[in-house]
Amino acid sequence: MCDEVDGLLEAWRSERPDLDVTPLEVFSRVSRLARHLDRARRTVFTEHALEPWEFDVLSELRRSGPPYELSPGRLLRATLVTSGTMTNRVDRLAAADLVRRRPDPADKRGVLVRLTDKGAERIDAALESLLSYEETLLAPMPTDEREQLASLLRSLLAPLDRTPSGPQN
């Protein structure tokens, strides 16, 4: 079985036999897979009237458990955006009735962002569609290979996630 990366590698090996292009075997495939997944996710999110950033914020609230509310600071740390960006995002989600702000009883100056019933329904439906689609992508791969792939990717990603200079969104 061959993919687009095989052709890319063959061309580089022909043009630059002096270079070891083996890192491209992994990272070009990861990059191409990320682009395919991004397109697929955008399609799923569009079907549920969500932008990718909306999915991220609503997901963080939904995963937090009842009462499905977090401080804006916690949301911005989880989604790796600035406070100004998070304020704008919460404003837009509130205008769409997907979240609601309420005063933080533990901090008179603070607010909490709570998922509304409409927001919970939207994120749950989008997540179900996303998981269904992603399952079809993984269907040709046996369970043990999926587990092995997940473990291998974790071993690459974990050190990057731990470093402050790691990837930023």
C-alpha neighbours within 13 Å on the C-beta side of residue 19: 12
Whether 71 is covered by a domain: the verdict is: yes
Whether 5 is covered by a domain: the verdict is: no
Whether 80 is covered by a domain: the verdict is: yes
Q: Which helix (DSSP H) or strand (DSSP E) does residue 30 occupy?
A: helix 22-47
- Tell me: cis bond preceding 159? Omega within 30 of 0 counts: no
- Rounded to two decimals, the pTM is 0.81
pLDDT digits (tens, 9 = 90+) for 59-111: 999 999 999 999 999 998 888 899 999 999 999 999 999 999 999 998 888 99
Q: Which helix (DSSP H) or strand (DSSP E) does residue 143 occupy?
A: helix 143-162
Q: Which helix (DSSP H) or strand (DSSP E) does residue 103 occupy?
A: strand 99-104
Instruction: Give the domain range for residue 67.
Output: 51-158
Ramachandran angles phi, psi of 111, nearest 5°: -130, 160
CATH number at residue 102: 1.10.10.10
Take residue 20 and report the two structure tokens written for it.
């070891």
Whether 21 is covered by a domain: the verdict is: no
Query: In total, how many domains does the chain have?
Result: 1
Contacts of 60 (CB under 8 A, 6+ apart): 70, 75, 78, 79
Whether 113 is covered by a domain: the verdict is: yes
